[in-house]
A and B are shown apart, each in its own frame.
Chain A
Amino acid sequence: MKTATPGRGSSTERRGSFTTISGRPINELYTPADIASLDYARDLGNPGDFPYTRGIHTNGYHGKLWTMRQFAGFGTPEETNQRYKQLLKAGGTGLSVAFDLPTLMGRDPDHELSLGEVGKCGVNVTSLADMETLFDGIDLGSITTSMTINSPASMIFAMYLVVAEKQGVAWESLSGTIQNDILKEFIAQKEYIYPPRQSMRLITDVFTFCAERVPRWNTISISGYHIREAGATAAQELAFTLRDGIEYVQYGVDAGLDVDAFAPRLSFFFNSHSDFFEEIAKYRAARRIWAHVMRDRFKAKNPRSWQLRFHTQTAGVSLTAQQPYNNVVRTALQAMAGVLGGTQSLHTNSLDEALALPTEEAATLALRTQQIIAHETGVANVVDPLGGSYFVEKLTSDLEEEALACFDTIDRMGGMVPAIENGYPQREIAESAYKFQQAVEQRDKIIVGVNEFASVENGPIGILYIDETTADRQLAKLNRLRQTRHDGRVRAALDALSEGARGAANTMPLLVEAVRAYATIGEMCDALRHVWGEYEETPII
């Protein structure tokens, strides 16, 4: 076949080089020569066929659209419960809980480090009582809930299970996700409590517990989102996330689990950044890599173990405080990339999130963005519409190759836990973040409204202010709880938890018992802190 060759005597170019937002050089044209080594059946396959490059479902979004899952939470459980009811009424199809920093760090509102943080970045949940309020009037049997919680994931999950129990919903029928991904906390988001190895045990305990008791629950959402937000390139996001996935599977197998007993419940979570085609290629590469990892490296037999399912969130870091309405456009394009990449669920950011948590109006507009993509653009009519594009296929293969090289580096370090202990991914990401910032300063990378097309009149927009009485209200409830619950039962449950942590018992049933007694999140986390200690990182700049 005769093909055009790149660099054909064109006139002057706009720039010295063309690169993706990750700094990847891009040719002006891609041709069949770029994908000559690809074999359709072996490397792509039809949707629903190994290695799932084109998608895990044979009919794409014909059967079911992606879940429109808007991450939300602020202030008290009462306020957030109202926001959930509004989102469900507006046509949202799943809930996604954002917790505040004290909850994420396993601290009660009366701890000194909680000063000024209660209810600010998400909803404060201190005990089962708050969880009951959070889901008041929402049937846990008929919705799916995603909870962004990591170090204290087991504690919050135990609370959710007990709320279901009180609503009369069987655990076997519950469906949803806990993020429960501690490795990316050490790498990027830094909301860790315990040292890595003890943290990994909590996670394998959840794998084991759910395989037996909550079989439809997604036990982990292995997340590249935060890695990307911290400054990683697309290839680093892909590589570190999937290598984290390998680490979790290895720990599960080492804990004595059959790989097919827990692997089908693993899920992933990726960022959708602004470089349209690079993102689409990233999702496609992720599916292909994971299929091979699970089949070839771990010898999984169940095709469900080979299939990478993922949630996508548009890139928070791309939102600008300047000219905030531009963010609606950025988010729409990023969301489109997630859909073209075959995401199973999607969160679209709100236009005001570089300034504060979103207002109700902004959150509704973000949801409408997804609905327009789903119902007006026609992109959901066909599976993997970019499959076969010379450019997208080449990018997919290049990203795969880079990720596999990174796996080798980390394997040589002895795995992701040792790599983290050596600060390897942390350093790589910090380096990329600094390079990107320099590119922005030098206007190698243009951010509309920030380093180009800036205007003085930014037009103030109304933002959400978190009421400073949130902390007082949560403290008052905590004090009432401490007076009304059965102290002996709380103490016994916490002692049993510490004892279990010293030995090899599964921590999940012990946590469920502590939750039933209305032990607080701070008390449960402290019971483990006393046994396992706390992690402190060596700061790297």
Chain B
Amino acid sequence: MQKIRVIIAKPGLDGHDRGAKVIARALRDAGMEVIYTGLRQTPEQIVSAALQEDADAIGLSILSGAHMHICPRVMELLREKGLSDVLVVVGGIIPDVDIPKLNAIGIKGIFLPGTPMQEIVDFIRGNTRSRVGI
């Protein structure tokens, strides 16, 4: 069975990467192929990494409050590149009022502080296209 391939990305200017790195390790320990982009990636760079890496999922870590600018841009670029089937999840500090707005643009998983790692692993497993037997 082929491994689920996940891009973990830190968009924007923020450098607080503890969460991104912990999640990257948890996904890797759960048997996924994880590509961590490093800091300060533009939406263009993230989508281009997803394309090159043939990613099944993208995890965006955003704590700075810039999510309503960054997320729509990522979704738009994914559509343009024909990558609408890539699962996009967001982790970080997201005010309640923004959650329905992010859901509406196609971001399925939004994980706030305190979310168990296992919950994120299960969510990605349950929502990525299966690579076997199709």
The answer to whether A and B come from one shared complex is yes
- Residues on A facing B (Cβ under 8 Å): 101-102, 104-105, 107, 112-117, 120-121, 185, 189-192, 229-231, 317, 320-322, 354-356, 430, 433-434, 437, 441, 447, 450-451, 460, 463, 465-466, 536-541
- A117-B12, A430-B21, A434-B26 provided; 19 other pairs, C-beta below 8 A? A101-B14, A101-B64, A102-B13, A107-B13, A115-B66, A116-B66, A117-B14, A121-B64, A121-B65, A189-B15, A192-B15, A355-B95, A433-B18, A433-B22, A441-B116, A463-B95, A537-B38, A538-B38, A539-B39
- B18 & A231 in contact (Cβ 8 Å cutoff): yes
- B39 & A356 in contact (Cβ 8 Å cutoff): no
- B114 & A541 in contact (Cβ 8 Å cutoff): no
**A447 to chain B: which residues have CB within 8 Å?**
114
Query: Which 4 pairs of residues, A with B, have the shortest CB-CB distance?
Result: A190-B15, A116-B69, A116-B66, A539-B38
- A541 & B25 in contact (Cβ 8 Å cutoff): yes
A/B pair count, beta carbons within 8 Å: 106
A396 to B12 Cα, complex, angstroms: 40
**Does B79 count as interface, using CB distance less than 8 angstroms?**
no
**A189 to chain B: which residues have CB within 8 Å?**
15-16
- B40 & A541 in contact (Cβ 8 Å cutoff): no
Give, as a whole number of angstroms, the nearest-CB distance from B62 to chain A.
9
Interface string of B87-108 (1 = CB under 8 A from A): 0000001011000000000000
**B95 to chain A: which residues have CB within 8 Å?**
355-356, 463, 465
A120's contact among B24, B64, B114, B118, by CB below 8 Å, is which? B64
Q: What is the size, in residues, of chain B's interface with A at 8 Å between Cβ atoms?
A: 36
A113's contact among B42, B113, B118, by CB below 8 Å, is which? B42
**B37 to chain A: which residues have CB within 8 Å?**
539
> Given contacts A115-B66, A539-B38, are A437 and B22 in contact (CB under 8 A)?
yes
**A317 to chain B: which residues have CB within 8 Å?**
18
Give, as a whole number of angstroms, the nearest-CB distance from A368 to chain B.
25
A437 to B14 Cα, complex, angstroms: 21
- A460 & B96 in contact (Cβ 8 Å cutoff): yes
A193 to B114 Cα, complex, angstroms: 31
> Given contacts A120-B64, A120-B66, A537-B38, are A441 and B22 in contact (CB under 8 A)?
no
Q: Which residue of A lies closest to B67 (CB)?
A: A116
**B77 to chain A: which residues have CB within 8 Å?**
none
- A322 & B114 in contact (Cβ 8 Å cutoff): yes
**Does B70 count as interface, using CB distance less than 8 angstroms?**
yes
**Does B117 count as interface, using CB distance less than 8 angstroms?**
yes
- B15 & A191 in contact (Cβ 8 Å cutoff): yes
**A322 to chain B: which residues have CB within 8 Å?**
114
- B93 & A355 in contact (Cβ 8 Å cutoff): yes
Give, as a whole number of angstroms, the nearest-CB distance from B127 to chain A.
21
**B12 to chain A: which residues have CB within 8 Å?**
101, 113, 115-117
Q: Which residue of A lies closest to B117 (CB)?
A: A441
A539's contact among B18, B36, B66, B114, by CB below 8 Å, is which? B36
